[in-house]
Amino acid sequence: MKQRVIGDVSVSAIGLGGMPMSIEGRPDERQSIATIHAALENGVTLIDTADAYHLAAHDEVGHNEELIARAVREFHGDTESILIATKGGHLRPEAGAWAQNGHPEYLKQAAKASAKRLGVEAIGLYQFHRPDPAVPYAESVGALGEMLDEGVIRMAGISNADPDQIRTANEVLDGRLASVQNQFSPKFRSSEPELELCDELGIAFLPWSPLGGIANAADLGTAYEDFAYIARDRGVTPQVIALAWELQKSDVVVPIPGASRPQSILNSLTAPTVKLRPEDVARLDASQPAAV
């Protein structure tokens, strides 16, 4: 597996997103654990989760963190190089609703609860999940800096951030911002400025929903004919071409496709072996949704 870097840690060029294993429509636990083990067996060393990846019920908070921790504990191979990245500050108080809590004290409590669920003394990468309009952004990020200094977390990141917030976070953290996790895919390209800024600053950029989201990933080739055309030419799936395209955007890009079946993550893991020609990249950059 080709490698990329987050902070001072080398990780697989493709990570595993855990969200589909814990929200509505999730598979049974055995299938989820099989999916995680398939990823680890094939070189994945980055797994992304969050305390908010659960069904909309209070007793479900941290479901995905606990699931991933259990799967890693039960894995038969070496787990020393695995980086589990989690997030805090986003909540699911009820079905269909999301909320934010960026208060520093809350984030500190949430991080310690996540560490306990993950079974670690210090979280490898902790990310502020989403800006809270009720709290100054620098104050929320400041809590990450304090947790870095206290050893509660080893690296700090942010998610769903704009360029000004990226600059603010990196300044507040004294240049220690390790990652930015934003939505980016053939369908959602408005995070291109954030990706370019991360490339400039040398900060890892982790596209979430890199295939267009749970509801759209399977139809990527139908929606974007250029991705399907190049996929046929290369003998791979349109999803693999999308991940390869993202990887070639910059060496700081580490896509984290969500998966709930071993076959899905194994397909995604072929993307780093696909080298797109400049004319392919130009075509994909200009690709528009197919006419309905």
The token pair that represents 222 in the structure block: 């139908």
Q: Which of 53, 106, 126, 224 is catalytic?
A: 53
106 included as an active-site residue: no
Q: Which of 83, 120, 87, 122 is nearest to 5 (CA)?
A: 83
Alpha helices, H only, the chain: 29-41, 63-74, 104-118, 137-150, 163-172, 192-201, 220-223, 225-234, 238-247, 262-268, 278-285
Q: Which of 209, 236, 241 is nearest to 224 (CA)?
A: 241
The token pair that represents 290 in the structure block: 């197919």
Task: Report the alpha-carbon distance of residue 82 to residue 40 in Å, rounded.
Answer: 8
**Strand pairing partners for 91?**
99
Q: Which of 51, 49, 36, 40 is nearest to 11 (CA)?
A: 40
Q: Which of 208, 223, 221 is nearest to 253 (CA)?
A: 208
Specify the residue for token string 């191979």.
77
Report helix, strand or coil for 133.
coil
Radius of gyration of the chain from its Cα atoms, rounded to whole angstroms: 18
- Residue 233: CB atoms within 10 Å: 11
Plot region of 276 (φ>0 → left; ψ -120 to 50 → alpha; else → beta): beta
The residues annotated as belonging to the active site are 53
